[in-house]
Every structure is written in structure tokens, then in C-alpha cells.
Amino acid sequence: MRITCPHCGNRSLDEFIYLGDATVQRPDPARPDALAAFVDYVYQRENPVGRHRELWYHNAGCHAWLVVTRDVRTHEIFGVEPAKEVSLSEKTTGAAR
Amino acid sequence: MTLPPGSSRMSKGGQIDRSTPVDFSFDGRSYQGFAGDTLASALLANNVRLIGRSFKYHRPRGLIAAGSEEPNGIVELRSDARREPNTRATMIELYQGLEAESQNRWPSLDFDLLSINSFLSPFLTAGFYYKTFMWPAALWEKLYEPIIRRAAGLGKASGLDDPDHYEKSTLFCDVLVIGSGPAGLMAARAAARSGARVVLAEEDSALGGRLLGDQRIIDGLSSAEWAAKMAAELEAEPDVRILRRTAVFGVYDGGTYGALERVSDHLAEPHHHAPRQRLWRIVAKRAVLAAVAIERPLVFGNNDRPGIMLAGAVRTYLHRFGVASGSNAIVFVNNDDAASTVSELAAAGVSVAALVDPRPVVSPVVEALAKKAGIRVISGGSVERALGSKSVSGAEIRLQDGNLLTLPCDLIAMSGGWNPSVHLTTHLNGRPVWNSSIAAFVPGAVPPGMAVAGSASGALSLADAITMGDSLGQDAAIAAGFKAKKSALPSVEPESTAIQPLWRVVNARGKSFVDFQNDVSVLDIELAEREGFRSVEHLKRYTTLGMATDQGKTANVNGLALMAEFAAKAIENVGTTVMRPPFSPVAIGAFGGHHREKNFKPTRLPPSHEWAVEQGAVFVEAGYWLRAQYYPKPGEKDWLETVTREVKAARSSVGVCDVSTLGKIDIQGADAAEFLERVYINGWKNLAIGRARYGLMLREDGIVMDDGTTTRLGEDHFFMTTTTANAAKVMQHLEFCHQWLWPDLDVQMISATEQWAQFSLAGPHVRDVLLKLVDPEHDISNAAFPYMAAGEITVCGGTRARLYRLSFSGELAFEIGVPSRHGDALIRKIMEAGAEYGITPYGTEALGVMRIEKGHVAGAELNGISTAGDLGLGRMMSIKKDYIGRVLAGRPALVDPNRPVVVGFRPVDRKRRIRAGAHFIRQGLEAAAQNDEGYMTSVAFSPSIGHWIGLGFLARGPERMGEIIRACDPIRGEEYLVEVVSPIFYDPEGEKLRG
Amino acid sequence: MANRTLELRSAVPELSRNSRIGRQDGPARLVVSEMTGLSVVSIAARKGQSGSLQGAVKKLFKIELPNTPRRVEAGGVAFLWAGPDQWIAITDMAVHPDFDRELVAKLGKFASFTDQGDARTLIRVSGPASREVIATGVPLDLHPRAFQPDDVALTHASHIAVTIWQIDEEPTFVFAVARGFARSFWHWLSDSGSVHGIEVSPGT
């Protein structure tokens, strides 16, 4: 598999480290049900067939965290965005993950 | 014609170099061939037909094919350390002095005692091993398996280190063309002319594919001449890379292809420094698969006798190698491709006793050709049984009228049709589809970016291959972003490829083999069907059809067709087995490449490495790092004596240890302190500039991730250290926290691990030594530079350095860092300065002993399941802020008061050695899992105390000081009593380190 | 101002002397040397200061900081892209002995600086076989159509993290390798290059 890093270009899979679901959001630790929310955040994962949004780390490259949209059946990649920009824009627009 | 005695070599012809004779040996006998021969063609030329014994029945076997699909002709090549079992004689290029041995025979190829298995064959049918050796299971390893392995194994590995080396490399291109037959050559030319970067990979040593083995006319040239002309044209293209002897064996995601180049396999040994083989990772924007089609054997009685060969292979031996595979042939075919076999054999002077074709009416073209050559045509007939044992001597032919005709022969050239080589189209889940017009599977859905041209696609005629190759080569270049350039197509005569499938000869007598390499016959498939094996995958496992080195390249489709017949299904409804990489065998050495032995993984050397080598240090791997473990002195009897001396020296005078391997991260920015607050469990905003603090990080699940000391160098500048093992993981975690969780923080992180050579100096005389090194303007007195102070200084007359008053050992200690390029010089200066105090270098063992004596936790305690509380560090967890892991660290299970907590242990019998891994059980209770209360994590012989001590996790440990419990170590068969004590064995008040 | 009063030592002793490695006949097709005597500083823009940093660098060094994997050099100072809003600056240690402090003094408002002069070993590789040899460890397309002088890449070589850039069309490439891994890097490079003959010339 190859991933096109938005900073470094098209690179082989072995430069990257996979983390997991990019659609979960760290809960507000102050909320009253924080414990339950964190259990969901850390452990509960959907496993849908088809497209995933997932976090990858360009370990052997620019050290950027990336949000990769990938079909887990075919490994087709539909988009790669810098996680920092995704996160910042979500914070400014208030968009939910 | 008459062949010269002992030779089947034609007097002229072939693409061999007759001016260069090549000597070789097979089973100890000497022979001669020519440059350009394969071992297979040279053996045939020398009339050596018996090449091996079969896997199960030890039947005599000869060559069937001329290419990589060969199932029978597998030999052990070379000798001693270079001996390589299971190499295909058809793929071995002859070189001077080549040595090969037949396999699977005992005591000799000609007289094989185990051929008695042939008479036992009723007991050796499908599933035989599973049925016979079921019971008792205990006998499998000791008795059955060794016997089976000896009787039914293939070749033997040398068992010696491979003296050659292997290389891995990456190649990028716009268009990858796989195979260099007519379609491949045309595709490569079309893509190259458009300006694309082209890689043309060919398994063979020469370009041309079937053009080399057939005799066709293209643009007025012989097919071999035309192939050579095309090859020369491609060679001249600057952006075409031709990889000969390179088999593309796998297709991977993202346009990535695996290929193996046999760089030096055609030589006795690699030229100086050249690799034996090279594993290519080819990254291609587009690919044109122009692999060949593989001819199918016909299934009739004793169809495995030496001298029964694929018709295409017979032509290849004739045209490419100038070798007649026999002198009196029967051609047995079900398709029109055979026309050329008949006419070409006749033209070469091989007498053809008959053309046997099961079709009631032979095509007029073939009929005419045979007539012209004066060859008897038997239409509607089939060979029911081959005669002869170590070589075919005749054939029993059932005629259309029902009569049986026996004809003598020494060669049966057979063709059951052609299977497109679809393997590479299936590696990304594509499934081949049945094409009844050519009676074969053709590619179905192909991998993204791949197109299939020529016979691999099912277009079996030469004209189709040429047209298709050209057009798909252009398409590939266009898809890769180039403009196509039209070229004139070469002209060829059309040919017929008509076929009527014949999956087996029904009234065959004698074993009819489907899979030659695995000795799978028609009966085995029938039996498997009868016993209920309906899935082709089950059929494969039960009968072993399609396994081993050839992966059923000649066998699979025949096997599927027979399965279909016995199950009364259409072949397309039976399905195919999944074909996975590799297409052809790849040596493990090639996957390893440069990375073997000492280069298995990279080694990371600390700045004092060369100096430590000079001191005779013993080294230990710590992740990638190679660290000095201890520094033995002459006369010391073991490591314990050495380590004890090192600890005593550090505790009584002064010792020095390279601690450069700790991870170091420069953390800067206006929000640096805030960032640390969020990743560490303890507070950082109140840390003064010029002070260091111990910090502990959790994972989000509440478990400890790492620890280390972080120094505040400025208002917005911190210098973090991590454990050696976790440096990269912590950096990745911090980047995650910053980039994904809190991108709005102003914080920058740069790894500085390698910038600093850092030495820990410990012991009562440490200040005396430092005073000689640290430039006088820097005050390092206890008052000016107290415990946990840190700052920038200069040493040795002006070299920039950093000094930290940290102590892992519990002694008065400093860590001193200089830029790494000075690390070697500094350790030498330190040793010089400390000489009068007997300064002693110590390694990781002594470091470990001293930290256990002080009760400091390390890797064995930060084991991925411990909480801050388990480590006795729960009080560090700030309640004034949030941090990673805080919420889940509060889960009931992680705050359960019964959790095991780190405490110290000492043996009740003080002379006794204790060991990590022992589990703690209350006295009087059974040593069983339900009574397990924890385990020992770290132990050391404490030179300071004089007996063994340990750290470990014990349920409610801190409440149980003085209790005597059992330490049970069933793995080592030990049990002893230990006393629960404070984990701080040495200087519990911490007076020394503050001195 | 601090001096370098202690002796400097290369992480790869094999690169400190002239030698010919591997194939002995014909001209060496790979030429390797260590680049010594350099100051190297990592630069990371402070939050929201990337533009100001670029402006200040332009004023000071007459250089446009690259926003893509490129290298820009002027007046003896080279800036290499090193990730989003990150660069490394390389210059002659004799001229700029405390380059990090110099940069902090001049640009400290806009960026964080970390001295890396000792953290990395810089190895220059040239010669007609260089692309072929590098391909055995670096999974990047270095064909002239894909990688040109002043192009930079952060990647790995034989499983060792490296920054690689090209300085001329000969071609000459430079690798920046973590000092601790430099010897392993050399083992890979010398093993892979032996078949072509390697000329090692001491550090420059």
C-alpha cells in the first residue's frame, strides 16, 4: 500500500504507523459522565466495511499525523489530510467528528 | 535421421553458442553442453531423460516442460554451502563446472528402492497420511514424520551458512511490462516511444518468450531474430530498464510489484561483491501483464513416463537449443497449435509415427501439413497408455473404430491446450473466469492499474498478441500521463487456435497423472470427490494437488475440470483455488537482503562506544542501542564479580556511565509548560528555571507509559528525557497530543537525543572530578547547584555543556552533557580527571543494581499493565488539572486497593539467590493461580547490603512490611521464602544524593 | 562565546581516511565522504509566526524559506524544509560556531531553535552508481525526472531515518543520519556499493 503524504508525497506503507479511528473525539474530562465517555473513546470502535477515516503517523517522514480516508476492503485511498489542520478546522467550525 | 550415439543435439540450429562448450556433471557423471543451454536442454542433448523420482511413488520422471512451470525436473544444484535443493533444471543456465544431483531417490536414480511405493499405491491415495498415521498421536513427531519426510521429501538444504549475499532494491516506473513475448515486447516499445519510463521484466535470460521456442515469421524475420531486434531497440531507449532473469512474483496494493532477479544464478558463483539475487520492489503507475500461457498436459495412462513432454517444450528444445527430444515421436493433441509441432519435427528430421487427435475431424490445415510431411493422422483417437518405464517406448492408441493400435516411439509430444498465466491478476482478490472458446480460465477483475495482453489474456494467436501488446502499451503510457505515438504493426501469418477439451482419456490404463510434482492422479481426485471434498480448496489440501514448488502450474486446470466432471458440474461452477504470491519460489535470503546477522537491524552506538571497546566492555542490546553492560577486568571470574566491583566503586569513590541513550526532546513555545501539564501526571508550571523534575506519563487508558526527568531551561523552554526504550514512542505520542488533540497550543518539539553525549558521574568524589572539568566561573557547590539543579555551563576551557544534578544511583551524582562530537573526548577527560580517585566506568548492569537498591522503577516495572499507584507514585497524580490518562486511571479496577504495588523483598535465607518472575503466594496456601498475589520484577545482588534483593508487585504490599511469603517459581522449579520490605534498600533518607 | 576546546570525533571512523573499498579495478563508481565542520540548527516556527519568520529570514539571509521539500542556499547558509513549519539550517561551523544562539538572538521571537550540529552525521554520496546504490536502501524515486538538485526528502535508508537532498546533477546526494546510526548506515552503503568500487575521501 502507498500513502500520499500531503507534505512529502507518495510513500510506501513502511514509512507510516497506523493508529486507528479518526472519528472519535477526546471527551471533555469535566463532563459529569466523563468516565463512561472516556471508556467509549478509548475502547469502543465501529468496524464498518468500506470507507474509514483513520489516523496514520508519517514516522519515517515529516512526523505529521495524517487523517487517511481508506476503503478497508480494497485499500483504495480517497484522501489524506494533515491531522493538525483537520483538528484546527474542526475546532474553529465546531464541526463534530 | 539418425542421432549421433549419446547425443540428441542437432547438427545445426538453435540459439546456443556452439563455439563455447560447457562442462557439467549430473549425479557425478560428466557431460558437455553449450553456452546458452539450460541444464534441462543440456541433459536432453546428452540423452539423459531420467532426471528424478516422483514425490510419493518414486516413479521415474523426466522433463515435461522447458520453462518455470516444470514439475518434474527439479534437482539439487551446486555443492557444499551453495547447495540449493528443488531448483528447476529448465531455469538453470548452464555454466562451466555446474554440478547437479537428482533428488528423491535412494540409493540411486536408476535403482530406487522406494519405487516399491508404486506397488503400495493403493495405500498411498489421497488423504493417506491423515488416514494412516492418525494414531497414536504421540508417534507423529518421533516416528511417522521422520519416515515420511525421508521417503517423500524433496531436496535437502545444505545446513551451512549461505556464503552469498542478497540485495533489495526499489525501482519506479510509469509502465511495468511483465513478460517479453510478442505482447510484452510490443507493449514495452509502445510505452517507451511515448516517452514513459518503462521496466520490462522477463523471467528468462533472453527476451522473446515463445518467440524463441517457436518458428514463426514476423516482418520477414524468424521470430527469434525479430525478438532480438526488438530487444536491441528497447536497449537503446534511455528510459527503458530491461530486467532479465527477473520473475515478477507478486502484486501488492498501490501499484507495487515484487520481483526476483537472479543476478548471479547463471554463474558458478557471484562475481566479486555482486549479489546472488536481488529482490525488487517495483512501483509502477501502470502495468501490462504479458506473461505467457502455460501448456496443459493430457491425462492418460502412464503419462508421466520420461519422454512424454509438452508439445511446446519439444519445439522449444528443438528451435532454441537445437535438441531433438526424441527420434521417433507420437504427437498427441486436442488443438490446432499442434500443427507446428508436426511440421517442425518433421522438418528437423525427427520421424513422427502418428498425429493422434481425439477430435473426429482434424482441422484441414493440420491435416494438410501432416500429409505433406507423410505423417499418419489418427483422428478420433487417443493414447490410452504409454509403454516403457524409465523411458517411453511406445503407445497404445485407441482408434476411432474401437481397435487398439500399438506404436513404438521414444517421444510423445502432448498438448491439452493453453492456460493463460492469470496468476498475477488474482493477487488482489481478482478471480479468473472461464472462457469456453479456448477452454481455459482467463483474467477476471484485474488489479487496479493493470491490463493483460496476449496469451495471458486468452488471446492465443501471435497476431492478437502483437496488436494487443501495442495498444495496451500505448494505453498504459497515456494513463501514466504521456501522449501515445502510433507505430506500424509488424505483419504475421494467422494461425488457428481451435481446441476441443480433453480432460482425461476415459479408458486409460495405468496411472493417469494430473499433478506430476505431487503424484496426484485421476483416482485421487475421484476419491476426494467421493469422500465429500466439494470445495476446490479442500480438494487441494486433501490431495495436495497444486502444492509445492510448481504450485500446480501444469496441473490445476486439469484438476478442476476433473473435479467438475466427477461432481457433474460445469467447470466454471467449481471455482478456482486462491493464488497468492509468490508466483515462483523466492529464497528467504532475498527477502532479508542486506539485513542478516549483524546487519539484521540497525545498531545505534552511543558517543563513548569506541572508548568502551578499548576498555574491553561487554555490550548489551537495548532496543537499537548497543550499550556497555559491564567492564570486566582481568582475573574477574564472572559478570557478578565485575558488577559488584563497579557498584562498590561508585558508592565508595566515583563511577561514570554513558547515559546518552536516554531520549531527549527539546520542548519550546509559549504553551510548553501547559503542554507538559497535560501529558505528565504532575505539575510543571511551578518548576523554576534551572531546575529539573521527575515526571510520569500515562497512556489514555490510565496505564503508565513512560517516565523521565524534565528540565526547565527557560520560561518557554523545557528539555525532556525519556527512557531509552520508549524515546520514539513518546515522541510519537507527544506529536499526537499536539497535532491532533491540542493544535491550538504554541509548542514545538525537536528530538535532541543524538545531540548530547551525556555521562552520569556518581559517588562521594564526583565533585572533585567535576571541578577539574567544569570551567571555574560555574559554581557547582551544593549551595549554588543543589539536588535537581540544572544549567548550561562550559567545560575544559570553553566547550558548551549542560550539567544536571540528578541521581538514579542514590549517590551524590551529576549528569554532564556535551555536544556528541565531543563525547569521546569528554569520557577520556573524565577518566583522566578521576584517575586519582580510581574512577570506575560502570555499565547498565551496575546501573540496574544501584537503581534496585534505591527502589527506582524501570522497564521491568513500567510493564504496560502498571498504574502510577502500582509503582508507589500515586501521590504524584495532580488533582488540580487534567492530563492524559487521568480519567481512566480513576476506573474502579485501577484504584482497587487490592492491586499489587511495588515493594521490596529479601530472601529469608540471606545466602539465597532470588529471581525475577517468581510469584508470591501466602504461606499455607496452594501455589495456584487463584492464590497469586503478585510477582518479582527485578532482582540484584546488592554489594552494599551483601545479599540478593528484589522489587516486585504485591497485593497491598505497603501494608505488609515484615510479612514472610512464598516466592514460587515453577518454571525454574524453585520456591523460597522472602520478607516484604521497603523498596528503598540503600540510604532511605536520601542523604547521600543531597550531599 | 564558547569554543570547541574538546576534540571532535566522527561517528564513522571508516570515513576519516582515504580508502578504496570493494571492487578494485577501474574508476570507483561511488564516491563517499563525510561533511564535517558544520553547524546545523533545527527551526520550528512558533504558533502563527510562520509568515513573520519567513519575512525575517528573507531580510537576514536573502532566502525564501521553502514550504515544500526543497533546499535554498545563499551566503553560505542553507535552509532545508524539514516538515510543516520546520526547517534545518546548515552553515560553516568556523564562521558560525554558535549558530543556534545566533539564530535565537535574531529570530527567537518567531521560532524555536535546537542545535543539531552534533546530532547528525552528514554523508555525501556521488558517482555514476550513486542512484543505483541508494535505491538498495531508500524507497524513493531519485530518477532525474522525479528528484532534482535542491530537492529534499525525509525518509529512511536501510531502516534508518534520514534526510536526503541532492546538490548537483553529477549527481551528488547528501544524507543527514542520526549520529548513533551513522555506522550502521555506512555498513549498508559500503556493502551495497562494493560491487561498484567505492572511493572514500576524508571529511570536508
Instruction: Please tell me which residue of chain B has the smallest CA distance to C37.
Output: B821
Cβ-based neighbours of B879, under 8 Å, separated by 6 or more: none
From chain B, the residues in CB contact with A63 under 8 A are 731-732, 735
E strands present in B52-165:
52-53, 60-61, 74-77, 84-88, 98-101
B741 and A26 in contact by Cβ < 8 A? yes
Residue B634 lies in a domain: yes
C184 and B595 in contact by Cβ < 8 A? no
Sign of the Cα torsion A28, A34, A37, A39 reads: positive
Q: Check whether residue C108 and residue C43 sit in a common domain.
A: yes
Cβ-based neighbours of C82, under 8 Å, separated by 6 or more: A62, C42, C43, C88, C152, C154, C163
Measured CA to CA, the distance from residue B955 to residue B366 in angstroms comes to 89
pLDDT (0 to 100) of residue B484: 84
- The residue out of C115, C150, C180 marking a domain boundary is C115
Measured CA to CA, the distance from residue B857 to residue B938 in angstroms comes to 9
C116 and B752 in contact by Cβ < 8 A? yes
- Contact C203/A at CB under 8 A: no
Q: What CATH number has the domain bearing residue B709?
A: 3.30.70.1400
Residue C32 lies in a domain: yes
Question: What are the residue ranges of helices labelled H in B615-726?
Answer: 639-652, 672-679
pLDDT (0 to 100) of residue B492: 94
Measured CA to CA, the distance from residue B264 to residue B163 in angstroms comes to 13
Q: Name the DSSP letter for residue B80.
A: G
Q: What CATH number has the domain bearing residue B53?
A: 3.10.20.440
Q: Check whether residue B760 and residue B736 sit in a common domain.
A: no
Length of chain B: 995
Burial class of B941 by CB neighbour count within 10 A (0 to 12, 13 to 18, 19+) = middle
Q: Name the DSSP letter for residue A57.
A: E
| Chain B stretch 862-901, residues whose beta carbon is closer than 8 A to a beta carbon of chain A | 882, 886-888, 890-891
- Contact A27/C at CB under 8 A: no
CA count, 13 A, side-chain hemisphere, B959: 6
Q: Check whether residue B762 and residue B747 sit in a common domain.
A: no
Amino acid occupying residue C16 = S
Q: Check whether residue B827 and residue B787 sit in a common domain.
A: yes
CB B554 within 8 A of CB B71: yes
Cis? peptide before B447, omega within 30° of 0: no
Q: Check whether residue C101 and residue C142 sit in a common domain.
A: no
From chain B, the residues in CB contact with A12 under 8 A are 170, 254, 256, 281, 283
Residue C80 lies in a domain: yes
- Residue B818 belongs to domain spanning: 613-660+755-850
Q: Is B473 helix (H, G, I), strand (E, B) or coil?
A: helix
Q: Check whether residue C101 and residue C145 sit in a common domain.
A: no
Q: Check whether residue B732 and residue B768 sit in a common domain.
A: no
Residue B857 lies in a domain: no
From chain B, the residues in CB contact with C8 under 8 A are 821-822, 825
Q: Check whether residue B977 and residue B839 sit in a common domain.
A: no
Q: Check whether residue B815 and residue B941 sit in a common domain.
A: no
From chain B, the residues in CB contact with C136 under 8 A are 167-169, 593-594
C-alpha cell at C19: 580508502
pLDDT (0 to 100) of residue B82: 93
Q: What CATH number has the domain bearing residue B838?
A: 3.30.1360.120
Q: Check whether residue B641 and residue B769 sit in a common domain.
A: yes
Query: Which residues does residue C156 pair with via DSSP β-bridges, in sequence order?
Result: C161
From chain C, the residues in CB contact with B165 under 8 A are 191
Amino acid occupying residue B852 = I
pLDDT (0 to 100) of residue C77: 97
pLDDT (0 to 100) of residue B145: 64
CB B101 within 8 A of CB B26: yes
Residue C29 lies in a domain: yes
- The residue out of C63, C80, C115 marking a domain boundary is C115
CA count, 13 A, side-chain hemisphere, B344: 25
pLDDT (0 to 100) of residue B47: 94
Measured CA to CA, the distance from residue B716 to residue B182 in angstroms comes to 69
Measured CA to CA, the distance from residue B431 to residue B434 in angstroms comes to 10
CB C123 within 8 A of CB C182: yes
Cβ-based neighbours of B203, under 8 Å, separated by 6 or more: B67, B68, B91, B179, B245, B246, B247, B584
Measured CA to CA, the distance from residue A72 to residue A87 in angstroms comes to 23
Q: What CATH number has the domain bearing residue C25?
A: 3.30.1360.120
Kindly give the pairing relationship between strand B293-295 and strand B513-515. unpaired
CA distances from B769 to B607, B666, B741, B829 (A): 20, 28, 46, 10
Measured CA to CA, the distance from residue B581 to residue B561 in angstroms comes to 24
The residue with cell 510562520 is: C50
The residue with cell 514439475 is: B71
Residue C136 lies in a domain: yes
C-alpha cell at B699: 497512556
- The residue out of C115, C145, C178 marking a domain boundary is C115
Q: Check whether residue C42 and residue C134 sit in a common domain.
A: no
Least trusted range by pLDDT, from B36-40, B531-535, C40-44, C81-85: B531-535
C-alpha cell at A37: 465517555
pLDDT (0 to 100) of residue B443: 96
- Contact B744/A at CB under 8 A: yes
Kindly give the pairing relationship between strand B625-630 and strand B293-295. unpaired
Q: What CATH number has the domain bearing residue B172?
A: 3.50.50.60
Helix B536-543 / helix B556-567 crossing angle, nearest 10 deg: 110
Q: Check whether residue B845 and residue B903 sit in a common domain.
A: no
Q: What domain count does chain B have?
A: 5
Residue C60 lies in a domain: yes
Residue C124 lies in a domain: yes
Q: Check whether residue B744 and residue B682 sit in a common domain.
A: yes
Question: What are the residue ranges of helices labelled H in B460-608?
Answer: 462-479, 522-530, 536-543, 556-567, 571-574, 588-592
CB B255 within 8 A of CB B287: yes
B794 and C2 in contact by Cβ < 8 A? yes
Residue B995 lies in a domain: yes
pLDDT (0 to 100) of residue B118: 66
CA dihedral angle for residue B46, residue B47, residue B51, residue B57, rounded to 10 degrees: -170
B166, B168, B172: which to substitute to probe chain C, counting the most C Cβ within 10 Å?
B172
Nearest by CB: A8 against C86, C154, C161: C154
- Contact B233/A at CB under 8 A: no
Q: Check whether residue C98 and residue C134 sit in a common domain.
A: no
Residue C170 lies in a domain: yes
Kindly give the pairing relationship between strand B198-201 and strand B166-178. parallel
Q: Where are the domains of chain A?
A: 2-27+34-93
Q: Is B779 helix (H, G, I), strand (E, B) or coil?
A: coil
Q: Check whether residue C74 and residue C169 sit in a common domain.
A: no
A62 and C154 in contact by Cβ < 8 A? yes
From chain A, the residues in CB contact with C154 under 8 A are 8, 60-62
Q: Is B809 helix (H, G, I), strand (E, B) or coil?
A: coil
Cis? peptide before B432, omega within 30° of 0: no
Q: Check whether residue B113 and residue B175 sit in a common domain.
A: no
For chain B (995 residues), the mean pLDDT of every run of 10, in chain order, is 64 94 96 97 95 86 95 92 92 96 76 66 63 60 63 72 94 98 98 97 96 95 97 97 98 97 95 94 98 95 97 97 96 89 92 95 85 91 95 96 96 96 94 94 96 96 96 97 92 91 94 92 92 87 84 90 93 86 91 92 97 98 96 97 98 98 98 98 97 98 97 98 96 98 97 97 97 97 96 95 95 97 97 97 97 96 96 95 97 96 98 97 96 98 96 97 97 96 95 86
Task: Quickly count: other Cβ atoms within 10 Å of residue B122's Cβ.
Answer: 8
Q: What CATH number has the domain bearing residue C109?
A: 3.30.70.1520
Q: What domain count does chain C have?
A: 2
Kindly give the pairing relationship between strand B625-630 and strand B655-658. unpaired
CB B490 within 8 A of CB B462: no
Q: Is B974 helix (H, G, I), strand (E, B) or coil?
A: strand
Q: Which residues of B660-684 are buried (b: 16+ CB within 10 A; e: fewer)?
A: bbbbbbbbbbebbbbbbbbbbbbbb
* Cα of B368 to nearest chain C Cα, Å: 55
Q: Check whether residue B628 and residue B685 sit in a common domain.
A: no
Nearest to B70 by CA among B474, B374, B394, B516: B516
Instruction: Please tell me which residue of chain B has the smallest CA distance to C115.
Output: B755
From chain A, the residues in CB contact with C69 under 8 A are 7-9
Query: Which residues does residue B287 pair with via DSSP β-bridges, in sequence order?
Result: B176, B450
CATH 3.30.2270.10 fits A2-27+34-93, yes or no: yes
CB B690 within 8 A of CB B792: no
C156 and A15 in contact by Cβ < 8 A? yes
Q: Check whether residue B671 and residue B733 sit in a common domain.
A: yes
* Cα of C62 to nearest chain B Cα, Å: 25
C136 and B668 in contact by Cβ < 8 A? no
Terminal-to-terminal C-alpha distance of chain A: 26
Nearest by CB: C84 against A11, A14, A62: A62
- Whether C203 shows a pLDDT value over 80: the answer reads no
The pLDDT tens digits of the residues spanning C123-164 come to 999 999 999 999 999 999 999 999 999 999 999 999 999 999
Contacting chains of A (3 CB pairs or more, <8 Å) are B, C
Nearest to A77 by CA among A97, A51, A45: A51
Cβ-based neighbours of A49, under 8 Å, separated by 6 or more: A72, A73
- The residue out of B449, B479, B509 marking a domain boundary is B479
B887 and A38 in contact by Cβ < 8 A? yes
A7 and C83 in contact by Cβ < 8 A? yes
From chain A, the residues in CB contact with B879 under 8 A are none
- Residue C108 belongs to domain spanning: 38-115
Measured CA to CA, the distance from residue B390 to residue B53 in angstroms comes to 10
